[in-house]
Amino acid sequence: MDQERVYPEKFREQIESCYSCGQCESYCPFFPRAFSLLEEEEQYGREGLLEGAYGGLLELCYDCKLCKIACPFKYDLPRIVIRAKAGVMRNGKPPWIKTIFQKVDEVESILGWFAPGLNPLLRNRSFRNILQRMAGIHKDRLLPTFYFLTFRMRAFLPALSGRLPKKRTESKESLHKVVYFYGCYTNHHRPQEGMAVLKVLQACGIEVVIPAHRCCGLPQVSEGFPEEARKNMARNLSVWEKYVAAGYDIIVTTSPCSLTMKQEYPEWMGSDADFLKGHVFEVTEYLFRLYGKGEIPLPMIPLNLRVAYHVSCHLKAQQMGMPSLELLRLVPGLKIEVVDRGCCGLAGCMGYTEDTFDLSMEIGSPMIKGIREFLPDLAVSDCPKCNLQIRQGAGLDAVHPIELLARGMKG
């Protein structure tokens, strides 16, 4: 099997290998459908059903990584599906919604300029009906808010430099230095999340630089555009390499981005990404690591809130525990309920399209039910798509844990 393509016959071999186990059927929409096609072929002698459903079947895998975590044989089915999608995209014209994911940097930058008028339109029923017919985006899908003032703009309003201004009583250099990879979602849809990161890092005495970068590559990889993903990855690596060589670590706000940098960059970029090993951290992972060593203080003020913490799939896939939860437990007054009831159901194109919206909500329903049962003041998750799904399903504000930590930070 080559680097970027999986042909239908190879795909069939893998599905048949998985059929004897069936461990993933209880939480994955992909496997039950694939296995039922195999059974129908066997029972009724209808050959080629799996190949006939090839394209549609691939869309049921949205790279949540749960099957990879649970597989007793250590198969990496998401990687196989990603390469199969690449073959499909190469041989046909991508639908409009996939083009958005393919060109996410360009699309979001353009749409951000029209944010004041665009956001009301995206909540207008008549416009959403038109958008559904034109782009295939379900009219009921809650879409993220666009900001004219992106995170990067806000970060550089005080000073037009790569180094954040810091209040110092001593002239010595900080012991801890980081590059902040803020990502597409934080930059365009949740700039207050990025500002919360800066507040917490500055309060902990950590030096931060914010160089320009491209999308991490996950949207392109997961939707079948590996060439575009590689271009983004190569650009980012060229920026980060000099900083890592100078003693900086790289911190990331969201679990999908950090997972991509830890696992997908070495896979797609080979030895060019070797320098990342041991230097990429989700922001709360980094903070909790230093706090555990006694190297930074985390002074907190009481926050009398009931908080539901959803454990995202891409956090689990990194097998690093739940550092956000451990940090939140340091905040006086917080009453935290851990909600670990499977995938939220929203990732990539899954949950945005006409064909997948209802399925997405069905997948996320156990999570939504668990959150509602706790009657929280708000919810938190390390994944922005999970937070969007929580807002839609539970009608509750949902934020990254760093925003809550920033609220509880003294000074």
pLDDT value of residue 166: 47
Number of Cβ atoms within 10 Å of the Cβ of 384? 26
CA–CA gap between residue 58 and residue 50 (Å, rounded): 11
pLDDT digits (tens, 9 = 90+) for 109-121: 999 999 999 999 9
pLDDT in tens, 222-250: 998 999 999 999 999 999 999 999 999 99
Q: Report the share of the chain in percent with pLDDT over 90.
A: 68
Write the pLDDT tens digit of every residue in 349-404. 999 999 999 999 999 999 999 999 999 999 999 999 999 999 999 999 999 999 99
Q: Inter-axis angle of helices 125-135 and 115-122, to 10 degrees?
A: 90
What span, in angstroms and rounded, lies between the C-alpha atoms of 303 and 154?
Answer: 26
Which residues face 338 on adjacent strands?
Answer: 309
What is the pTM (predicted TM-score) of this model?
0.91
pLDDT tens profile 319-333: 999 999 999 999 999
Among 158, 203, 210, smallest CA distance to 187 is for 210
Per residue in 272-310, pLDDT (tens digit) is: 999 999 999 999 999 999 999 999 887 688 999 999 999
Q: Indicate the domain borders of the chain.
A: 8-90, 96-135, 151-292, 306-407
Domain 306-407 has CATH 3.20.20: no
